[in-house]
Amino acid sequence: MTAAPAPSVRNRLRSAGISEDRIVEHAAAGRVRLDGEPAGLDQPAPAGTRVNLWPA
């Protein structure tokens, strides 16, 4: 049996209650980070990683 795929950065942000419009806005501005590194919205974000939105 294989493990379920890791959620994406986008899914983790949605789970945190951030609207899709705001997620896209933050991504377009380059403020989405995964463990402190720039991240794409479809990048895997497994448990134990930290998704952050950096200030403008």
Give the global pTM. Answer: 0.89
Among 2-6, 25-29, 38-42, 43-47, whose mean pLDDT is lowest? 2-6
| Nearest partner of 9 among 28, 53, 54, judged by Cα | 53
β partners of residue 37: 34
- pLDDT > 80? residue 1: no
pLDDT in tens, 8-38: 999 999 999 999 999 999 999 999 999 999 9
Residue 54: is its pLDDT beyond 90?
yes
* Sequence-ordered strand ranges (E) for 1-56: 32-34, 37-38, 51-53
pLDDT at 3: 79
